[in-house]
């Protein structure tokens, strides 16, 4: 499949109608609008953000999307748009909801605020931005999830997901939710074999695993012998090898680069595949390097 850049087409995530990559907008602050516009311009059609002013500037993401649509470079229907509800403990003082309101009402207030920030009437995916506690699911988690299910029932969001979740929490959520998560978004560590337990559960349950920090969380392993050898073999960068590995094992990757050349490189990995043995080498890279 030929990947065409700067025209809005970036290939598809394996076996789906989803774009090949998600562009992550965390930690961009005053650069958020410019770098989101840049990502859209080079061909990204999946955008991940959150209504959490502590780490995201959701309104500036919306400003970039609106500018691209207004200029005729993008249609809303071409874009996969995902944002998140974040509990009070994950926020700073710039809250998108009334902290005294019930959790279900906070979800609705945050959701409505996200629609205003992003300039849209519906979302493609709405993510619970991590359970409220480290182990198990609390009553607040279930109240938030039921409110998210209601938004899905109303047709205001297409699919639901959860992030920063353990395998036990994911099993509990999946077994008791009326509308189960379609997406699971975790920081992906090579030392955990790229979150193998959660990934394998997702695959068995028909969920899509979204991996973030694939590069930044694994910097020490990017220039070890297997990655360097594969980069040389395929005439690619280490980052391209990692992202190709991610796609080959069913990880829907996020990238948050602010470098336009790197973004173009990220999108240009749809024309090669790693061999099964090479996939195994990358999956075990932290074990090999230790």
DSSP codes of every residue in 24-55: E-TT-GGGHHHHHHHHHHHT--EEE--S-TTT
| Segment 203-214 mean pLDDT | 98
- Superfamily the domain 22-289 falls into: NADP-dependent oxidoreductase domain (3.20.20.100)
Q: What is the phi/psi pair of residue 129, to 5°?
A: -80, 55
For 275, other C-beta atoms within 10 Å of its C-beta total: 11
Name the pLDDT band for 80 (thresholds 50, 70, 90). Answer: very high
User: Has residue 1 got a pLDDT over 80?
Assistant: no
- The 10s digit of each residue's pLDDT in 31-63 is 999 999 999 999 999 999 999 999 999 999 999
3-class secondary-structure state, position 227: helix
Beta-carbon contacts of 215 under 8 Å, excluding residues fewer than 6 positions away, are 222, 239, 242, 255
| Segment 123-135 mean pLDDT | 98
User: Has residue 262 got a pLDDT over 60?
Assistant: yes
Higher confidence at residue 73 or residue 287? 73
Distance of CA 125 to the CA centre of its chain: 10
- The 10s digit of each residue's pLDDT in 136-159 is 999 999 999 999 999 999 999 999
Report the pLDDT value the prediction gives residue 155, as an integer from 0 to 100.
Answer: 98
Question: What does the alpha-carbon distance between residue 119 and residue 62 come to, in Å, rounded to a whole number?
Answer: 6
For 1, other C-beta atoms within 10 Å of its C-beta total: 9
| Segment 249-254 mean pLDDT | 98
Domain ranges of the chain: 22-289
- The 10s digit of each residue's pLDDT in 95-121 is 999 999 999 999 999 999 999 999 999
User: Has residue 9 got a pLDDT over 60?
Assistant: no
pTM of the model: 0.95
Name the pLDDT band for 2 (thresholds 50, 70, 90). Answer: very low
Name the pLDDT band for 16 (thresholds 50, 70, 90). Answer: confident
Question: What does the alpha-carbon distance between residue 173 and residue 123 come to, in Å, rounded to a whole number?
Answer: 21
Across the chain, mean pLDDT equals 95
For 80, other C-beta atoms within 10 Å of its C-beta total: 18
CB 54 within 8 A of CB 287: no
User: Has residue 240 got a pLDDT over 50?
Assistant: yes
- The 10s digit of each residue's pLDDT in 168-194 is 999 999 999 999 999 999 999 999 999
């Amino acid at each position: 499949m030929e990947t065409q850049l700067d025209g809005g087409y970036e290939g598809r995530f394996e076996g789906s109608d989803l774009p090949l990559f998600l562009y992550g907008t965390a930690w961009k602050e005053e650069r958020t609008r410019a770098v989101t516009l840049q990502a859209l311009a080079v061909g990204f059609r999946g955008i991940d953000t959150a209504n959490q002013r502590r780490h995201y500037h959701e309104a500036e993401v919306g400003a970039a999307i609106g500018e691209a649509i207004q200029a005729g470079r993008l249609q809303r229907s071409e874009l996969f748009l995902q944002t998140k509800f974040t509990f009070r403990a994950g926020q700073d003082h710039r809250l998108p909801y009334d902290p005294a309101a019930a959790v279900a009402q906070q979800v609705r207030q945050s959701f409505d605020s996200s629609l205003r920030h992003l300039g849209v009437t519906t979302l493609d995916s709405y993510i619970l931005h991590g359970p409220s506690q480290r182990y198990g699911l609390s009553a607040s988690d279930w109240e938030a999830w039921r409110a998210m299910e209601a938004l899905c029932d109303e047709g205001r969001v297409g699919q639901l997901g959860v992030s920063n979740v353990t395998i036990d929490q994911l099993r509990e959520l999946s077994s008791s939710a009326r509308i189960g998560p379609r997406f699971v978004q975790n920081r992906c560590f090579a030392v955990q074999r790229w979150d193998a337990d959660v990934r394998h559960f997702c695959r068995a349950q028909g969920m899509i695993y979204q991996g973030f920090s694939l590069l930044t969380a694994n910097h020490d392993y990017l220039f070890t012998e297997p990655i360097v050898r594969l980069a040389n073999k395929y005439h690619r960068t280490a980052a391209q090898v990692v992202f190709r590995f991610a796609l080959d094992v069913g990880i829907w990757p996020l990238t948050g680069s602010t470098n336009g050349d790197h973004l173009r490189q990220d999108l240009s990995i749809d024309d090669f595949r790693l061999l099964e043995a090479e996939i195994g080498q990358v999956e075990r890279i932290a074990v090999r390097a230790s």
